[in-house]
Amino acid sequence: MTETLAQPRPKNAAPWAKLGNRVRVASWITSLVPAAIFVAAWLGLQLDFMAALLTIFLPIQLAFGAWAGFYSYGRKGVNDGLLMVVTFFFSTFVLVLLASVIWSVISEGAAALSPHFIYQNNRYITGTTGLEIGGAGHAILGSVIITGITTVITVPLAVATAVYLTETRDGARGVVRTLLQALAGLPSVVAGLFIYSMLIVSGWSSQVGVMASLALIPLMLPTISRVAEEALRLVPSELRNGALALGAPSYKAFFMVTLPAAKSGIVTAVLLGVARIIGETAPLILTAVIANETNVNPLAGGMATLPTYIYNFLYLGDATSLQRAWGAALVLLIFVGILFVGARVASATRVGTKPKRRKK
Amino acid sequence: MNNLNHLETKDINVWFGERHVLRDVSLQFQNNHVTALIGPSGCGKSTFIRTLNRMHELIPGAGLSGQVLLNGQDIYAQAVDPVNVRIDIGMVFQKPNPFPTMTIKENILSGLKLSGRKIDDGDGLVEQSLQRASMWNEVKDRLSEPALSLSGGQQQRLCIARSLAMNPNVLLMDEPCSALDPGSTRRIEETILELKETMTIVIVTHNMQQAQRVADSTAFFLSENGNPGEVVEFDTTENVFLRPKDDRTNEYVNGRFG
Amino acid sequence: MSNDVAPKRLKLRSKPSRTADKVFFAVAKAAGYSSFVLVAAILFFLMLRAWPAFESQGVANFIFGAGWNSTTDPQIFHLGPMLYGSLLIAAIGVVLAVPMAISISYFIAFLAPQGVAKVATVVVDLLAAIPSIVIGLWGLGVFSPVAAEWGRMLSEALGFIPIFSNAVDIFLRSPFIASLVIAVMIVPIIASITREIFSQMDQEIIKGAMALGGTRESIFRKVILPTASGGIVGGVLLALGRAMGETVAIFFVLNLTFDDFNWFKILEPSGGAVASLVLARFNEALDTELSALLAAGVVLFVVTLIVNSIASYIVAKAQPWRKL
């Protein structure tokens, strides 16, 4: 029998794992015990949920967190435990609030949705009319038309501004960037007042759809130009120089090399810009009459949009009105969600990371 | 075949902002010769090569005096369009920079499209350019694949082929092999030796063996104690490496500094 | 070696050489300068129409006085309570939002496993994308009753402290609720800036601090927070600007009181907000009142402009890597 020097691995060959177990046990106790006490107090003593959360759950949780830190790491661990509890508590609070927003829009909105809600308009509908007739079709159409016009005007302007900021060496770029930041912080109601004071008070136009589109321009411009600027800046200067060294005029180097390389970033910029303005309410209330009928002419008559439709019924405040508002909010949130996901997808597909095979 | 490719510089001085970085560089690049520019980092050789096709002026704060004569004509004269200069004098960069949104074939033809020239026989030109860059056999079956599907060395040769499609009189190469493996480097050196039959080549290199392998003449650049860079010695490659006249050249080519 | 006469410097043409290029750069330049035109036009036209109100009310009275009535003679349009209310709500909103934003950023950047962090990031960004009218709807329909109950509990427990006292026993439509709604809206603004700074933080510094025996908490307090504080302050100011400009979300959850300042009783149903005032009075306003509303817009614009400029300056200083 030959003797081997190899020994079977002892069970405790990972001394650090012991600490891990202690931490694990401590975390479980810290999470479960306060929760159990809290639920018991909440149900048993019939306390208000929030009150119980703040006066029972959080203090107990903090105490247990401190204990867990001490148990796992000694005295230094106490503050760690407290930090963890506070962080988790606040993070959870944010996520719960958000979940509450999304969940209420989905559950309340779904109750109001029906096929005719998507295509009918608001004619003959009062605050108390039942949900079996009437819908937000005219508002969906209005949102598409008004944001569409704004997008068509703003995208070229914003991209050209981004080109100005990245491709030229003009001395005023710093000032322009500062002004764009100022515009990014422009309260939306002020944008509405601006168009109102410039074009409507003076009698040039009445409160029609295209005025709303104009009011949205200063809100959309900074979003698109900032994101587009960043996208253009990410294009390596070697590509630009490569094109210039081949004898390209600057405009061709831009359109044939720089712009295609920044395409996904520009698409992201546009989608974020649309998402920024599609939910705007205040400027639209000031610049376009909220119509009840379907109107596709942005130059005459009022026009409703999803946000102003919600505003209108929220203002009326009856039970069915609120239901209509929730329904429209769900539609609006779906639009925003699509734009949001689109922007994520577009910004995830960078040129060069995934070479696409071309078909013949 | 091409006799109109004589390049020379007269008293080139370069500034970045107020900083004087190159002083009185006068060099003649002989027809159908390869000239190597060597010297330690920061001596201004890369800056110098960029003055030869007016890429230099794209850098903010750039300044210049002196003349660059292509066949006797100053490319910095007021009436000259820098775009035309860059068509005549091609350039290959340190880092391969094929256009990522284009296929291999589109990259080859991109110069013609970018400079707004008509393309008569696109396929023929693509084949000819890739042949001259000695990579036709490797890529002839994948011309419509994206340029980024090539390896680094292939990408650099694609960039050479892209410049060749413009049929330049002069080809400038700014450390074209510094980012490549030895095998790719060797193949590019072979390409350079073939290309000099038809054009004048200027190459910046850090690699002194490479200068000895490919260059007919060599210029040694040096910037000492914060002074602007200057040409210390300019002669045939053999003389520069084997019989340097200046002590500093001797020390540099024998690897004592830099 | 003698230094002879300095060589003559050529003027390099950085200007485009071709017509098409000239057009290209001219268009870009025109677009860049259009933001001058836009900002100038906003200020000019608002001021033009707002001037009558400033003139009749007096600038100082308009901004700091109290009272808003179009039926008296002379009409009184004083913005004070609204302006103060905007500041109060924004300030409380920020106070509530900051711990939430920092916690979730810390959670995402340092505690959560990568997958969870990614999801949480998307969720927080999504929160930023929810339109304010939807937040307003949620605030009115779902959140207000709950928050009013919180307010009642606060008042019962801590009513001896003046800010939590409530003499009218109505807890809806208070600045407290408006601030909570605002907090929900600005958490993602502060969180996105804080998160970016946290994730850009040099991991080596943190590892170094750990190697020196630092605990999570001491590293957070002594290394992470001080490094990130500039950016956090900038983000807070940015959020403050946004909060002051918020219109519809506040409009539905706040009772506007024009005549008196509600200095600190945040649980009582009386407050102010400049942007909501515009919305509330706009449809009925005639001549002078309309001019006064536009003047309120001017004041709002100027105040947010100042807050935002300071904020962008601080954020830019705190994130040097963002500059090219």
Nearest to A181 by CA among C305, C191, C322: C305
* Chain C residue numbers touching B57 (CB-CB < 8 A): 12-14
State yes or no: cis peptide before C74, omega within 30 of 0.
Answer: yes
- Residue C308 to residue A104, Cβ atoms within 8 A: no
Q: What is the pLDDT of residue B242?
A: 93
Say whether pLDDT at C80 is over 70.
yes
* Chain B residue numbers touching A238 (CB-CB < 8 A): 93, 95, 97
Of B13, B63, B83, which is closest to C12 when you measure between CB atoms? B63
Q: What is the pLDDT of residue B234?
A: 95
Select from B14, B19, B56, B65 the residue whose CB has the most chain C CBs within 10 Å, as the one to mutate to test that interface: B65
Q: Which residue of B has its CA nearest to A258?
A: B99
Say if B50 is an interface residue toward chain A (CB within 8 Å).
no
DSSP codes joined into one string, chain B: ------EEEEEEEEEETTEEEEEEE--EE-TT-EEEEE-STTSSHHHHHHHTTT-GGGSTTEEEEEEEEETTEETTSTT--HHHHHHHEEEE-SS----TTSBHHHHHHHHHHHTT---SSHHHHHHHHHHHTT-HHHHTT-TTSBGGGS-HHHHHHHHHHHHHTT--SEEEEESTTTTS-HHHHHHHHHHHHHHTTTSEEEEE-S-HHHHHHH-SEEEEEE--TTPPBEEEEEEEHHHHHHS-SSHHHHHHHTTS--
* Chain C residue numbers touching B11 (CB-CB < 8 A): 7
- Residue A93 to residue C39, Cβ atoms within 8 A: no
Q: What is the pLDDT of residue B258?
A: 57
Q: Which residue of B has its CA nearest to C5?
A: B24
Say if B1 is an interface residue toward chain A (CB within 8 Å).
no
The confidence band for B222, taking pLDDT boundaries of 50, 70 and 90, is very high
Mean pLDDT of C238-247: 89
Q: How many Cβ pairs closer than 8 A exist between chain A and C?
A: 272
- Residue C176's contacts (CB-CB under 8 Å, 6 or more residues apart) are C92, C147, C151, C154, C266, C267
* Chain B residue numbers touching A356 (CB-CB < 8 A): 146
Q: Show which of residues 86-145 on chain B sit within 8 Å of chain C, judged by CB atoms.
A: none
Measured in Å, how far apart are chain C's first and last C-alpha atoms?
41
Find out whether A215 and A287 touch, Cβ atoms under 8 Å: yes
Shortest distance, CA C62 to any CA of chain A (angstroms): 18
Of B55, B95, B103, which is closest to A245 when you measure between CB atoms? B55
What tens digit of pLDDT does each residue of C268-306 get?
898 999 999 999 999 888 888 999 999 999 999 999 989
- Residue A90 to residue C99, Cβ atoms within 8 A: yes
Nearest to C64 by CA among C261, C289, C245: C261
What residues form DSSP beta bridges with B146? B103
Whole-angstrom distance, CA of residue A168 vs CA of residue A173:
9
CB atoms within 10 A of CB C295: 26
- Residue A252 to residue B116, Cβ atoms within 8 A: yes
* Chain A residue numbers touching C247 (CB-CB < 8 A): 187-189, 281-282
Q: What is the pLDDT of residue A358?
A: 39
Of C45, C137, C142, which is closest to A314 when you measure between CB atoms? C137
- Residue B57 to residue C14, Cβ atoms within 8 A: yes
Q: What is the pLDDT of residue B251?
A: 92
* Chain A residue numbers touching B129 (CB-CB < 8 A): none
Say if C15 is an interface residue toward chain B (CB within 8 Å).
no
Shortest distance, CA A230 to any CA of chain B (angstroms): 18
Nearest to A176 by CA among A239, A225, A141, A126: A225
What tens digit of pLDDT does each residue of B225-251 get?
888 999 999 999 999 999 999 999 999
Q: Percent of chain C, pLDDT > 70?
A: 93
- Residue B145 to residue A351, Cβ atoms within 8 A: no
Shortest distance, CA C35 to any CA of chain B (angstroms): 25
- Residue C24 to residue A182, Cβ atoms within 8 A: no
Q: What is the pLDDT of residue C322?
A: 52
Whole-angstrom distance, CA of residue A230 vs CA of residue A237:
14
DSSP A205: -
Q: Which residue of B has its CA nearest to A261?
A: B101
Q: Show which of residues 239-268 on chain A sit within 8 Å of chain B, judged by CB atoms.
A: 239, 241-249, 252-253, 256-257, 260-261, 263
Return the higher-pLDDT residue of C87 and B5. Answer: C87
Instruction: From residue B255, give the alpha-carbon distance in Å to each of B112, B178, B186, B241, B251.
Output: 43, 18, 22, 11, 6
DSSP C172: T
Q: What is the pLDDT of residue B108?
A: 94
- Residue B83 to residue C12, Cβ atoms within 8 A: no
Could you read off the pLDDT tens digit of each residue along chain A, which spans 360 residues?
Answer: 556 677 777 666 666 655 567 777 777 777 788 788 878 877 877 766 766 777 777 778 788 877 877 777 777 778 888 888 888 888 888 888 888 899 999 999 999 999 999 898 888 888 888 888 888 999 999 999 999 999 999 999 999 999 999 998 888 998 999 899 889 889 999 999 999 999 998 888 899 999 999 999 999 999 999 999 999 999 999 999 999 999 899 999 999 999 999 999 999 999 999 999 999 999 999 999 999 999 999 999 899 999 999 999 999 989 999 999 999 999 999 999 999 999 989 888 755 443 334 333
Select from C33, C38, C104 the residue whose CB has the most chain A CBs within 10 Å, as the one to mutate to test that interface: C38
Q: What is the pLDDT of residue C6?
A: 53
The confidence band for B119, taking pLDDT boundaries of 50, 70 and 90, is confident
Find out whether B198 and B2 touch, Cβ atoms under 8 Å: yes
Of C25, C31, C238, which is closest to A161 when you measure between CB atoms? C31
Say if A354 is an interface residue toward chain B (CB within 8 Å).
no
Say if C26 is an interface residue toward chain A (CB within 8 Å).
no
* Chain B residue numbers touching C18 (CB-CB < 8 A): 81, 83
Shortest distance, CA C298 to any CA of chain A (angstroms): 8
Entry field: residues in chain A: 360
Q: What is the pLDDT of residue A12?
A: 67
Say if A350 is an interface residue toward chain B (CB within 8 Å).
no
- Residue A254 to residue C24, Cβ atoms within 8 A: yes
Say whether pLDDT at C177 is over 50.
yes
Q: What is the pLDDT of residue C320?
A: 65
Shortest distance, CA C225 to any CA of chain A (angstroms): 13
- Residue A256 to residue B110, Cβ atoms within 8 A: yes
* Chain B residue numbers touching A244 (CB-CB < 8 A): 55, 58, 86
The confidence band for C11, taking pLDDT boundaries of 50, 70 and 90, is low
Instruction: Tell me the pairing of strands B170-174 and B89-92.
Output: parallel
Q: Show which of residues 15-54 on chain B sit within 8 Å of chain C, judged by CB atoms.
A: 15, 24
- Residue A238 to residue B103, Cβ atoms within 8 A: no
- Interface predicted TM-score of the whole assembly (ipTM), two decimals: 0.89
φ and ψ of B186, to 5 deg: -60, -45
